[in-house]
Amino acid sequence: MRVILPYSVKRKVKAMKYILAPSLLAADFTKLGEQIKETEEAGAEYLHIDVMDGLFVPSISFGMPLIESIRPASKQFFDVHLMIVEPERYIDEFVRCGADSITFHLEATKDPQAVIDKIHACGVQAGISIKPGTPLEEVYPYVDQVEMVLIMSVEPGFGGQAFIPESYDRIRQLRNYIEEKGLTTAIEVDGGVGKKNIREVIEAGANIFVAGSGVFRKNTITDNVNKFLEAF
């Protein structure tokens, strides 16, 4: 049985430490264990796990059984991104299955603070995400309550989309807000992040980078991870 450490002793994201989070959604599921191991050995500290319910977003991905099955195979930080309605209903189970961090969508719940509190009560880090069309200011009341804010730079629900250019300004605005408030909240960016635009995303102010196709497609996973890490 996996032991859940008290929240106070969980490791926290250091401000402006750059972290690559390969997105499991883009992996070859016939070689899943092998590919996860390769990302870890290449130096990717996080594994980004998208959970979709077919309601909040059109697609359905995977859930608790998959997370539980791969947990023993990796020491990576499991960055679980819930794209589901009523996320508060499932937090306990995702933590039990091995999540180190749970990110939910502001748009998916009536009481974001209650969701944040429940995640922390389970002993893991909390993240909050917003869609591209959601005004950035709506997340401000929660920035000091979470370890991470996830900026979606594509419409959530499908992999392989192009980065929305307006996302750069959203990242800059959020980074400025965080610094003005004297916070250490991390900024994660998900969607269309690749080797061609990683420097621009870094310069905008993000420090955690979700990459799917850029890690798991073309060349080898090791080569792809190394190219991202070289940009850091």
Alpha-carbon distance values, 168 to 81, 146, 181 (Å): 21, 21, 20
Active-site hit among 50, 53, 79, 100: 50
Residue whose entry in the numeric block shows the structure tokens 């998916």: 108
Q: Strands 208-211 and 77-83, how do they pair? A: unpaired
Residue 52, phi then psi, degrees to nearest 5: -125, 140
Q: How far is it, in rounded angstroms, from Cα 223 to Cα 228?
A: 9
19-22: strand order across its sheet: 19-22, 208-211, 186-190, 148-152, 125-130, 101-105, 77-83, 46-52
Residue 173 is inside which H or E element, if any? helix 167-180
Is 190 annotated in the active site?
yes
Q: How far is it, in rounded angstroms, from Cα 2 to Cα 124?
A: 13
Instruction: Write the CB contacts of 191 (distance below 8 Å, at least 6 apart in sequence).
Output: 152, 153, 154, 155, 156, 161, 163, 164, 167, 210
Active-site hit among 28, 169, 190, 223: 190
State the first-to-last Cα distance of the chain, in angstroms, to the nearest integer: 36
Alpha-carbon distance values, 15 to 33, 127, 227 (Å): 31, 15, 22
Q: How far is it, in rounded angstroms, from Cα 92 to Cα 90?
A: 6
Q: Which residues are catalytically annotated? A: 50, 190
